[in-house]
Amino acid sequence: MKNNFYNKSLISIKSVSKEDSLYIFEMADKLKNEVIKKGKTNDLEGKILAALCYEPSSRTFSSFITAIQRLGGGFIPLNGMEYTSVDKGETISDTAKVFSSYADIIVLRHPVVGSVSEFAKSATVPVINAGDGSREHPTQAFLDSYTIGKHFKSFENITVGLVGDLLYGRTVHSLSLLLSKLGVKKFIFISPDLLKMPPEIVSGLKMLNCEITESESLDSSIGNMDIIYMTRVQKERFSDILVYEKYKLAYILNKSLMQKAKSSSIVLHPLPRVGEILEEIDSDPRALYFREEMRNGLYVRMAIIKSILIQ
């Protein structure tokens, strides 16, 4: 298989093909085995990753820092930019030049849509989008698709349910596009009317011959889902806190809803959860968010960094 990631930024799932994803998944499998056997590899000895988070991050930040260390490299960890020159008014393009002088690869999370591609224009090293406002979160899409691929024989026959804040949730934007490229044909989108999947994403999926069902009711649709992908209502994107309060618990996954779900279904969540999955679900064997999804993020991010830095 060909490595199309080498020396390139990863900004959007739009530039990724099915073959590219399978390349990452295969490498993630190999790296997983090496990590289990030896804890680390030395593939990226001498390479430095800068992780710059202009927005809060737990998993994405920590898993990238862990990933580079388990590949034998070093890191510049900036979780929050308040003690950097950004606080003094440095522009995004200057910051890109600064960290390009120190690091071989930059992971960037920023609250503004489009900011990561703007940053990448001034950077002289590859940049990975770790979330640009409400638009995209491509590495989360890779790790979620990888997790799904481990549980179903093929992507062609599964029905993927995406639930919650589909308007502002960047993970579902990247994930729906990647899954459609991998062969998923049926999606069920569950959200309040105000937080529906953006129309350009829905029309893009329809152009790829996907069947899309949009509904406000999780109760009446959960039995048809193979994947139950829950998301948090994105508080930080609301200008009116009262509107957020109204919708924040629009969907709560509990035991009685899970009784209506298929026994073969799986429950995923990019995390953090803030009430939309009750703790009583955590011990359900179908709940994979703590058990597998997060850990897969490490292997998949190792594979992405390695593919970008080594031909």
Q: To 10 degrees, the CA torsion angle through 163, 280, 236, 244?
A: 70
Residue 273 within binding range of ligand NCD, rule CB under 6 A? no
Q: How far is the CB of 59 from ligand NCD (least distance, A)?
A: 5
Site residues for ligand NCD, 52-81, by CB under 6 A, read 59-60
Query: Which lies closer to ligand NCD via its Cβ, residue 21 or residue 231?
Result: 231
In this structure, are residues 305 and 67 in contact, taking their beta carbons and an 8 Å threshold?
yes
Give the C-alpha separation, 261 to 179, whole Å. 21
Q: To 10 degrees, the CA torsion angle through 9, 172, 159, 259?
A: 140
Q: Please count the other Cβ atoms lying within 10 Å of the Cβ belonging to residue 259.
A: 9
Site mask for ligand NCD (CB under 6 A), range 147-176, x = bound: -----------------------xx-----
Query: Which lies closer to ligand NCD via its Cβ, residue 62 or residue 122?
Result: 62
Q: How far is the CB of 54 from ligand NCD (least distance, A)?
A: 12
Site residues for ligand NCD, 92-131, by CB under 6 A, read 131
Site residues for ligand NCD, 226-255, by CB under 6 A, read 232
Please identify which residue in the block is written with the tokens 């703007």. 118
Q: How far is the CB of 271 from ligand NCD (least distance, A)?
A: 5
- Report phi then psi at 166, rounded to 5: -85, -10
Give the C-alpha separation, 138 to 13, whole Å. 6
Residue 140 within binding range of ligand NCD, rule CB under 6 A? yes
Q: How far is the CB of 50 from ligand NCD (least distance, A)?
A: 18
Alpha-carbon Rg for the chain, nearest whole angstrom, is: 19
| Residue selected from 126, 138, 149, 270 as contacting ligand NCD according to rule CB under 6 A | 270
Query: Which lies closer to ligand NCD via its Cβ, residue 253 or residue 271?
Result: 271
Six token digits for residue 202: 């829905």
Residue 191 within binding range of ligand NCD, rule CB under 6 A? no
Query: Which lies closer to ligand NCD via its Cβ, residue 140 or residue 307?
Result: 140
Residue 137 within binding range of ligand NCD, rule CB under 6 A? yes
Q: Which helix or strand (DSSP H or E) is residue 118 part of?
A: helix 115-122
Using CB under 6 A as the binding criterion, the count of chain residues that bind ligand NCD stands at 10
Taking the mean position of all CA atoms in its chain, how far away is CA 29? 18
Question: How deeply is 263 buried, as exposed, middle or buried, from its count of CB atoms within 10 A (0-12, 13-18, 19+)?
Answer: exposed
Q: How far is the CB of 245 from ligand NCD (least distance, A)?
A: 17
Give the C-alpha separation, 228 to 122, whole Å. 39
| Residue selected from 163, 271, 277, 303 as contacting ligand NCD according to rule CB under 6 A | 271
Contact set with ligand NCD (CB under 6 A): 59-60, 131, 137, 140, 170-171, 232, 270-271
